[in-house]
Amino acid sequence: MTGSNNHPGVDLAALLLRVGLGVMFIAHGLLKLTVFTLTGTAQFFAQVGFPSWMAYPVTFGEIIGGALLLLGFHSRYIAAATIPILLGAVFVHWGNGWLFTATNGGWEYPAFLTLAATSVALLDDGKYSVRKLIAAKTVPGNAEARAR
């Protein structure tokens, strides 16, 4: 849980982690959509042992999930929902070795992103989020919460 009961840097840390993870997800989703194309991504998924149809929910899950993380809208649930996607990436890169600079990329980067998503799931949105802003403006008596 974030907020004034914790170290003052927790809300800023939650923001930075959410934004970094959100940008990464949007970039990877758009890469699948615009560069590799959905058909090419589906073919790659089949080639590495996943059902080809999974390319579609993964691609849009990355883009939509990334946007929701950027905004800070139910980040705990969004981040938790991305963990299976990231574990799939770890699986795909596992045979390439540890370092991501290995041919076809190693599993170090997807493993780190899995830990980052787990951290966001534990932290939740933080103070600097659209959800907290909406709650402060719409819930009666929350004017003082908005000032904090």
Q: Cα separation of 120 and 76, whole Å?
A: 6
Alpha-carbon separation of residue 29 from 13, 14, 52 (angstroms): 24, 22, 16
Whole-prediction pTM: 0.85
| Predicted confidence pLDDT, tens digits, the chain (148 residues) | 444 456 779 999 999 999 999 999 999 999 999 999 999 999 999 999 999 999 999 999 999 999 999 999 999 999 999 999 999 999 999 999 999 889 989 999 999 999 999 999 999 898 899 988 888 887 666 555 544 5
